[in-house]
Structure 1
């Protein structure tokens, strides 16, 4: 499938999706959200891909927010539908992918950009990155999961402060808050992301997919995360990856996981 707003590269079990709208600081418009949905879905169904990196083109921005011109004239119902569809197509979709997603934040990650990074399973930022949710300066609130995922990651008090002040934070602060996993120099960002992706790719894909389900369950209302963990733990025992992993351990050899 050909794309206008993103680039997709697959190499060594790792797919790299690059949002490629540099003149718009990689802002998310409807077309880009739909293209990202299709790209993530394609990677998810490609058995050769064991990890996905999402980043932005250039050195200025990961994603500098949403394309405000698309929704400035929306009414109440149109605004609600915008958030619902966006969460369904991209943000919730990414969070619930069975293939782990690493956000390589290469500059500004604002509004929808930070929300996309937070929906990813792991976050790495370059030392020049700036992050924030500035929606209240426009008379609206974060609508792509920001009010839910930010408190989960950094705590309610800090999340309230960042959302209500619309303050941007730098990469060292994001690291100290636990918003990102690692901070590296800009030229090292994709190398670090690939290093992590390849470490993940060596492990059992089925087990990783079940771990994602179990971790996510802890943040869902009315769901017993411990129960999901028990269920998914048991599920793994019926997989070929489990048989291969335990056999390889007992035979003192490297496991060759097939993802089934």
Structure 2
């Protein structure tokens, strides 16, 4: 009987209670990891996910933390490491989006996007580094909007995700001598509660993919699982699009 590839590994996922984040948590536990994940507000989705996965024998911990808040981000990482006995895998999934032209962009929404999409990634990663051993894995969840903007109003969001891609490349240099890999997964149109694969907007998005359809959260989680595993050790600093050809 083969051993699951992440058996004995300890993972931390931000924004893991719903959508892509929840599917990443499921995949990491299926692959054998013990997982702590954060959620921001209501615990209903988090509690349901914990109950689902622990019933199957997985070790899963939910931690309430606002990714926009530096102190909460730092404390959540430290708590996860304490509860799990260290960290081997970090997935920066928490993110926010807001659409508006630059001249109309509310200051509070600008600050929120910067705090979550850039600050949350930075403070989580910076704090986790002291808990990560050699050969650890960091996976950032960016967006294809770092490379392609399909319409007006996404310039600020695209800017934040471009920063994630740049941070990934730089940190790969910083951590290379420790054998720690860091990679950036950029989803395209993915079917979630926040971005359903039906309706007028979905029709536009499908039309600009090569496959004419949305992807699933499992498509993203599959790549994250591989990048978190033992066979991806020579992949680092990479940006990998999972977008059905949206960016070709």
The alignment's TM-score, normalised by the length of structure 1, stands at 0.32
More RCO (CA 8 Å, sep 6+): 2
Rg larger in structure = 1
Name the one with the larger helix percent. Answer: 1
Q: Could you tell me the TM-score, scaled by structure 2's length?
A: 0.34
